[in-house]
Amino acid sequence: MAAAPIPLRNIWLLFLYAADLARFKDLLNVQLESARNLPELVARLLVWVVQKRLRCNLSRGYQAKQAVLSRVRGRIDVLGTVTGQLLERGRVACRFEEHTMDTPRNRLVRAALDYLAKMVPDPAVAHECRTLSQSLARFGVSTQKPSRDAIASDQISRNETQDFLMVSLAKMVFEALIPSEQAGSSHALAEDANVHLVRRLFEKAVANALRMQMRPLGWQIQSGRKLRWPIDHACDAIREHLPGMQTDIELVNADQKRKLVIDTKFTQIFGATRYREEVLRSGYLYQLYTYLRTQEAELQIQGLRSEGMLLHPQLGEALDAYIDIQGHRMRFKTIDLMGSAEELERQLLAIGDTIA
């Protein structure tokens, strides 16, 4: 029996939460639901932001330069001047900083526009990406994508809101969150896209929504933590063959002595067997159960009680139910991805209400 596809209408809102840009959603006055896939979605966002940024002039930075000049600029390179016998010729070697728009952040944005221009299916959007890339070139921005260290060194201040939004979108282009496959209409189906990448988007969106909702209430949120098997004894021949364990999202409240492990799954919550039409998927249930039971000793030392949640997109009726097994509450919850953007955002933020 083939699995039913998961409907995706508001993938743009998931993307904004995953990119930690949800606070800008009201500023992004652009047609997003008409995007046919994630590359086109990001391209539409980036085009709109870059166009707005160019109207206010790009930010500038300083670039270290060395040159032999006829007059002093910056600091004199004494060694270079002496060894080159430059003074006899009325020249001097200088080290100075030059004001430029060819900064790491602007190069990253141009690289993202060039990348998206090759990926988006809409010719008009691709043309806008190429046009903006050429505009950046006229300001002296080069095509070379900056290194991670260069991007990290180009710190964005609190007052540079437009740059933060523009650079955050450009970073997402290169963070392996954008499937290159075309996904059909705006009501794209998960089977038409790269399921792993869309699932990752779903996971990051949920994690950031919980971070916004739960941190003010005293919860700590962590993503992608690796767990260890509580091994008493094992021969060396088997240790390296044990499967790894890594949680999607963990929330800890020290005051309440609670820990919650959330496993996001981008599939329908029920499967089918030879004997039953709708049954919780055993693999997912066993996985969550294992996460909770194998960490019991560590949590007892910390004085925490652990709970788990399987979070799925909604297909059919909504589900919010739980069972208690051996001292651990396990909750099963769905989110509707086909409602309005407002309703989806309400559901994302309401996950915290279920926990609290």
Token pair of 192 as six digits: 């038409």
Per-residue confidence at 198, pLDDT binned at 50, 70, 90? confident
Domains, in order of start, for the chain: 38-60+102-173 (no CATH), 61-100 (no CATH), 189-231+243-355 (3.40.1350)
The helix or strand, by DSSP H or E, that contains position 280, with its residue range, turns out to be strand 279-280
Any idea which of 11-20, 92-101, 149-158, 250-259 has the lowest mean pLDDT?
Answer: 149-158
**What's the average model confidence in pLDDT over 22-32?**
73
pLDDT at 176 over 60: no
What mean pLDDT do residues 62-81 have? 87
Contact yes or no for 281/270 (Cβ under 8 A): yes
Q: In what side-by-side order are the strands of the sheet with 92-100?
A: 61-69, 92-100, 75-76
pTM equals 0.73
Confidence at residue 52, expressed as pLDDT on a 0 to 100 scale: 87
Helices and strands, counts by H and E, the chain? 12, 15
**What is the helix (H) or strand (E) element at residue 93, kind and residue range?**
strand 92-100
Give the orientation angle of helix 161-173 with respect to helix 38-55, to 10 degrees: 150
| Number of Cβ atoms within 10 Å of the Cβ of 185 | 13
pLDDT over 90 percentage in the chain: 36
What digits encode the pLDDT tens for the residues 30-68?
666 667 777 888 888 899 889 988 888 788 777 778 889
Tokens of 184: 């059909």
Q: pLDDT-derived band of residue 183, with 50, 70 and 90 as boundaries?
A: very low
How far, in Å, CA of 336 to CA of 318, rounded?
Answer: 8
Average pLDDT value for residue range 188-202:
62
147 — pLDDT class (breaks 50, 70, 90): confident
Half-sphere exposure of 5 (CA within 13 A, CB side): 15
